[in-house]
Amino acid sequence: MIDRTSTRRSDERLTCMLHETANWTVTGPDNAILSEVASLHCAVEHAVEFGALGHRIVALVRGTPPVVIVFSGQIRKLIDQLFDPDDYLIGRYAAKARG
């Protein structure tokens, strides 16, 4: 029998999951694991950092059942929700990227 459980979650559900403890990976092209962290919030922070350094982020993945995959559109929404453009974190990573 085929498991048809969706790996996608609504934006509202992802917001609720931000601080839940779970193993998340930040993945790049070809499923390259760039980072492993303990929450979706941390994964979003790492995605911002890697993006500022020029890495392409493909998805954030929670590997523990049920598997959840967050692709670029929802990652962008989470970043916009979590960080003000003038936020220290964004400025710090942008400064790193500039050298």
The predicted pLDDT at position 88 comes to: 53
User: Of the candidates 68, 6, 18, 74, which has an alpha carbon nearest to the alpha carbon of residue 43?
Assistant: 18
* DSSP letters spanning 22-46: EEEEEE-GGG-EEEEEEEHHHHHHH
The predicted pLDDT at position 22 comes to: 95
**Tens of pLDDT, residues 18-46:** 999 999 999 999 999 999 999 999 999 99
Specify the pTM.
0.80
Mean pLDDT score of the chain: 85
